[in-house]
């Protein structure tokens, strides 16, 4: 590890953190399913972990700041992380802890990775898209005619109350108001961006405008709908569960147990 990662550090300036310590903390983190903060805290309490990371004497202080874990991963990059994983596979084979036969079979499975989003109703999406657009426009110094913050918040509240009371016509009326507010904000921002044609482009605002337009125009039975403003990649997936008909997330494929790869291709 020191031969592989030593070239990433400079000979001048403040001495770097020992590579064995950083690599050992990452191995312990993944072996015990810890976060950057908790693995550093547990390291102080565990003499075996300290010995594993190259310490000769017991230490009572934190070895590093937890943010150093992220900086180390950025420094070694994806190839460095793959190299660390490859060494564990080779070490397991050399010590006969892992048999080659156990790596000759491929197990493939798919599942749904749930996203941290609220249950997507049309009213909530209209309100969230408008709110996000207004916030981004204020950060960029774009003065809007009206933000509809108070009116949209009240319309969302009344929509929920009417829907709970089964007054569906009144609930749809409030939902239509939310959609109208979103459309007005979209058109207002587009007009202002047209007047500011000489200013640099705003990629984040343009992206939010694209998402808001999709939310504003999509219908009940459309395909490839948007279910979240901050995570537009979310899909509605039905897996046939009785207690949970639909799940909102992304499809994940998991492959375990493959032929023994080289260090560079792990």
- Cα distances from 60 to residues 40, 43, 124, in angstroms, run 12, 9, 50
Please state, in angstroms and rounded to a whole number, the distance separating the CA atoms of residues 94 and 206.
Answer: 54
The whole-number pLDDT of residue 203 equals: 87
The whole-number pLDDT of residue 26 equals: 94
Q: Alpha carbon 194 to chain centroid distance?
A: 33
The whole-number pLDDT of residue 197 equals: 47
* Local confidence pLDDT in tens for the 266 residues of the chain: 888 888 887 778 777 789 999 999 999 999 999 999 999 999 999 999 999 999 999 999 999 999 999 999 998 998 998 999 889 888 888 998 888 777 777 788 888 888 888 889 999 999 999 999 999 999 988 999 999 999 999 999 999 999 999 999 999 999 999 999 999 999 999 998 885 544 457 888 999 999 999 999 999 888 889 999 998 999 888 877 888 888 888 888 887 765 444 433 33
- Cα distances from 33 to residues 25, 26, 37, 39, 70, in angstroms, run 12, 10, 12, 9, 16
**pTM of the entire predicted model:** 0.60
Please state, in angstroms and rounded to a whole number, the distance separating the CA atoms of residues 215 and 228.
Answer: 9
Number of H helices, E strands in the chain: 9, 3
CA angle 192, 193, 197 (to 5 degrees): 120
Q: In the numeric block, which tokens belong to residue 30? A: 């993944």
| Angle, helix 168-195 to helix 122-139, in steps of 10 degrees | 20
The whole-number pLDDT of residue 224 equals: 87
CB proximity list for 206: less than 8 A, separation 6 or greater? none
Please state, in angstroms and rounded to a whole number, the distance separating the CA atoms of residues 135 and 192.
Answer: 15
Please state, in angstroms and rounded to a whole number, the distance separating the CA atoms of residues 212 and 137.
Answer: 13
CB proximity list for 133: less than 8 A, separation 6 or greater? 182, 185, 186, 189, 205, 208, 209, 212
């Amino acid at each position: 590890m020191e031969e592989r990662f030593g070239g990433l550090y400079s000979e001048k300036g403040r001495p770097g953190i020992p590579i064995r310590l950083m690599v050992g903390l990452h191995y312990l983190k993944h072996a015990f399913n810890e976060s950057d903060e908790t693995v550093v805290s547990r390291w102080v309490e565990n003499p075996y972990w300290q010995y594993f990371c190259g310490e000769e004497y017991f230490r009572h202080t934190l070895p590093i700041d937890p943010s150093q874990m992220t900086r180390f991963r950025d420094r070694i990059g994806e190839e460095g992380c793959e190299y660390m994983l490859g060494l564990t596979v080779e070490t397991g084979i050399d010590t006969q802890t892992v048999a080659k036969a156990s790596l000759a079979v491929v197990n493939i499975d798919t599942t749904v990775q749930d996203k941290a989003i609220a249950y997507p109703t049309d009213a909530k999406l209209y309100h969230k898209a408008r709110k996000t657009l207004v916030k981004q426009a204020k950060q960029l110094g774009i003065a809007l005619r009206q933000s509809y913050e108070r009116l949209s918040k009240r319309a969302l509240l009344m929509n929920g109350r009417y829907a709970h009371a089964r007054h569906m016509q009144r609930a749809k009326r409030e939902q239509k108001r939310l959609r109208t507010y979103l459309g007005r904000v979209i058109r207002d921002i587009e007009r202002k961006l047209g007047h500011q044609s000489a200013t640099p482009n705003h990629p984040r605002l343009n992206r939010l405008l694209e998402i808001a337009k999709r939310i504003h125009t999509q219908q009940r039975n459309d395909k490839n709908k948007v279910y979240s403003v901050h995570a537009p990649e979310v899909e509605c997936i039905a897996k046939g569960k009785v207690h949970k008909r639909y799940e909102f997330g992304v499809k994940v494929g998991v492959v375990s147990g493959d032929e023994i790869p080289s260090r560079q291709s792990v």
